[in-house]
Chain A
Amino acid sequence: MTREMEEILEAVWIAEESGTPTRERVRALSHGDWSDSLLAEMVAAGLVELPGDVIRMTDTGRCRSAGLIRRKRLGEVLLDRVLNLKGDKAEAIVCEFEHGVIPEVEKSICVLLGHPTECPHGRRIPPGHCCLNHEVDITQRITCVTDLEIGQKIRIAYVRPSSHDMLHKLLNLGLRPGVVIEIHQKRPTFIVRFEGMEVAMDEEVAAHLHGWRWEP
């Protein structure tokens, strides 16, 4: 799903909250590009349906849209209540936030904020699994690969190597932020598996990789 599609899905959600999501209203609410071909692509991707003048989300589309809205509004709460950032600056950050934040972090923020139900503008925040389960502990925090057990997975958040050269090697192998790796072996060397590839590394190299524990 492209960013433009995400913007439209979000606009449909907001339009739904205050009435019928007609094409005209969605178009006015959307921040991204707008074209009929884009809508057609979204229909083909199974995200929306177009009965008459209305844009209706499919189940898949609604699920994606809820996630986007949830992240956006959680971001607004975080910036408003915790970081005390308001106005245009906050708006710009939130825009990036909703598209960039990975689910593992989203959950931690929600727990940190005490499962807020409304954004600073008084709009409803779609609840996540953590809200329904009333989770109070932040289980998700950045962990180093060397602290994991065999079989556990991690989504790389950052790579902090000893040298530019090492960073280059790691990135060239495809070990970059966002990639989910699985620990396969810790002795005699670390072996991680990702994207159908296996890489062997010393413990000191593995210690450069940090990320979020990944549970599908």
Chain B
Amino acid sequence: MLAGQDNVGRSTLFERLCDRQEPERSGHPGAIRKGTWQDYLGEVVLLCPPGANTIFMENEDEVTTKRLLLDGSPTGLLFVADARNLKRSLTLLLHYADFGVPLLIVLNMVDEALVRNLRVDADRLARLLGVPVVSTVAVEGGGVNNLRSRTGEVARLTAQLPLPGAVRRYLEEAEKVTPGRRLARGLLLSALAEDDVVRHHLDRRLSPDESEALRQLITATKNSLLKAPDLLLLEVYQSAAEHLTESVLETTSSPSLPLIDRVGMWARNPITGIPIALAVLSLMFLVVGKLGAEFLVEQLEGRLFGELLVPATRTFLEGHTAPPLLVRALVGEFGLLSTGLALSLGLVMPVLLTFYAAFGLLENSGYMVRLAVLLHRTFRRIGLSGKAVLPVILGFSCITMAVLSTRILNHRRERILATLLLVLGIPCAPLLSVMLVLLGDLPVWGGPFIFGFVLLQVGLVGHFANRLLPGRPTPLLLEIPPLRLPKLFPLLHNALRRTWFFLHEALPVFLLATFLLFVLDEAGGIALLERLAAPVLSGLIGLPPESVNVFLLSTIRREAGVALLADYVHRGAFTPVQIVINLLLVTFLIPCVNTILVIVKELGTKAALAICAFVVTYALLLGSLLNLVLNRVVEFFSS
């Protein structure tokens, strides 16, 4: 098992260590990752829970890690410690070590620590704790082979924690009321700190009488302590960690700030930060918008599919007198090749790849948190605070993932608010990618109008939802990790991996949806739907009949719908106003099936239904209004 805090290089190390990884579902936050590698003794299985930053806080990530530690009975724990902030890592380590699991300390980021004039005496640390310590630089793979070969050396911590008298007496008594159980000290201490995971674990292991006796003992001990036990124990772990750190850490010369840290400081200061943010976002736009959405799409969709594969297939099929139905099914309006594959591989994939690369750069460099600090006050106005900035930015990658990541928010109120805004206003990467392609077909006002409108309505809805929902926003308290320059290769590798997982999941659905549309079209269903939806779509919202197909496909995958829209636009079926309205409606109206399922799972059916009902009603009303206003405005200006 591989554990540690966030931002200490756990994931990188996991990927470096494992030869094979089980496909994580597009890297959902909060999931346990599983990987394997071959050792001379056989296969080593490594589980990697999400990063836990606190002890006794019982947030979901911490609970997942602790459950795995207690109920997964791992043979050993590889604990990733941050050489740059050893004290914090050791606090968590001492806590985990108390559960009696044999462990090995991976001292990561020793290079970055050295830049900051910090040198950790790994040998001394190993001697003091009685467990092996391996230094690594995970991003470059330094020390990883050594680590692999030494995982078998995991050992139990021998160092003793100095405990207050009352707690020592509690431990002695607890041993007496649970005779022969030999419970790990960490279990008893966590039970004293009212840790729910441990309490459930103990309830399963102990007889009802023993459980009751232990409970009484805990109550008695708590009454005799001057402080809440969780705070007292936290202090014990922290002081022990501090003491250890002092004995193994050498600071050489006066630490002057390295350049990268200074850039990190500029990035979070409003005066220098806003220009930096603009520069970073422009760079992102260049990479995603120009390189991905224009150049690569043109090469793949335009050249490869449009000029080469589709015509060649059509000629081949027609040359071999294939039945017209088959020709239509493959290269027709809803053809598997001409629409399904061309759109997913030619249009969505290149933009997604560049987006993931750019997004990974922001995420791994630690810039995202600085952006969160900069944007905090703005977000505060719409009821989102602090950490909620992260899921929202993540929303530009994938809404489903972002909804899952709202777990880091501690209050349900904030989770509902964040989810609502995510579903309502944030275009996810695949959708964004196709939108970027479409922007090229719009008049100059199109792009700014769409994004300005999305921002405006996120602001308005957030503002009112913030007022209407009971409770008040939770204050910000966020650790800012040091800025670092991510290495190019792992960055691209990660972007490729994410794109691969996306396609792995989305391509079959994409193809199936295209095929279903084809069948529906052949059976005359689409014509029927077009007639049925005409009063609303054409009458109220003023969209051409083809938009029915766009919406149908959108419910399955948003980007598939918009990709089809792009196709129609290229054929000239939509006016600019119609494109704008259609794009906005798809952005607001329909969360994809995945997202709805995740919302139901995370927030419950009631909240999910309420969010969806609100979004759909809102979108229909808005569509009608926009149709009315925009057409007038455009007419006015053109006349």
Q: Interface residues, chain A, CB within 8 Å of chain B?
A: 164-174, 176, 184-185, 187-189, 191, 195-202, 204-205
Query: Mostly helix, strand, loop or mixed at chain A's interface?
Result: mixed
Q: In angstroms, how far is the closest chain B Cβ from the Cβ of A51?
A: 29
Decide if B477 touches A164 in the complex (CB within 8 Å): no
Decide if B231 touches A168 in the complex (CB within 8 Å): yes
Q: Interface residues, chain B, CB within 8 Å of chain A?
A: 53-57, 84-85, 87-88, 91, 116, 118, 228, 230-231, 234-235, 238, 265, 268-270, 369, 372-374, 376-377, 385-386, 410, 475-480, 482
B270 partner residues in chain A, CB cutoff 8 A: 187-188
Residue of A nearest to B53 (CB): A172
Q: In angstroms, how far is the closest chain A Cβ from the Cβ of B195?
A: 12
A185 and B264 alpha carbons, distance in the complex (Å):
13
Decide if A171 touches B476 in the complex (CB within 8 Å): no
Decide if A174 touches B235 in the complex (CB within 8 Å): no
With known contacts A167-B231, A185-B269, A188-B376, A200–B85 Cβ distance under 8 A? no
Q: In angstroms, how far is the closest chain B Cβ from the Cβ of A193?
A: 9
A171 and B477 alpha carbons, distance in the complex (Å):
12
Decide if A202 touches B268 in the complex (CB within 8 Å): no
B478 partner residues in chain A, CB cutoff 8 A: 199-201
Q: In angstroms, how far is the closest chain B Cβ from the Cβ of A59?
A: 22
> Which of A171, A172, A199 is the most central at the interface, judged by chain B CB atoms within 10 Å of its CB?
A172
With known contacts A184-B265, A202-B386, A202-B475, A172–B377 Cβ distance under 8 A? no
Find B268's partner among A172, A173, A200 (CB 8 Å cutoff).
Answer: A200
Find A172's partner among B55, B87, B476 (CB 8 Å cutoff).
Answer: B55
- Going nearest first, the 4 A-B pairs with the smallest beta carbon separation are A172-B54, A198-B480, A202-B475, A188-B377
Q: In angstroms, how far is the closest chain A Cβ from the Cβ of B361?
A: 20
Decide if A195 touches B87 in the complex (CB within 8 Å): yes
A204 partner residues in chain B, CB cutoff 8 A: 475
A168 and B195 alpha carbons, distance in the complex (Å):
13
A191 and B269 alpha carbons, distance in the complex (Å):
10
> Which of B53, B85, B374, B477 is the most central at the interface, judged by chain A CB atoms within 10 Å of its CB?
B477
A171 partner residues in chain B, CB cutoff 8 A: 231, 234-235, 238
> Which of A184, A199, A202 is the most central at the interface, judged by chain B CB atoms within 10 Å of its CB?
A202
A75 and B386 alpha carbons, distance in the complex (Å):
44
With known contacts A172-B54, A173-B477, A188-B270, A196–B116 Cβ distance under 8 A? yes
B479 partner residues in chain A, CB cutoff 8 A: 173, 197-200
Known: A196-B85, A199-B479, A202-B477. 17 other contacts (CB 8 A): A166-B477, A168-B230, A169-B57, A171-B234, A173-B479, A185-B268, A188-B270, A189-B373, A189-B377, A196-B84, A196-B116, A197-B88, A200-B376, A202-B376, A202-B386, A202-B475, A202-B476
Decide if B116 touches A189 in the complex (CB within 8 Å): no
B372 partner residues in chain A, CB cutoff 8 A: 200
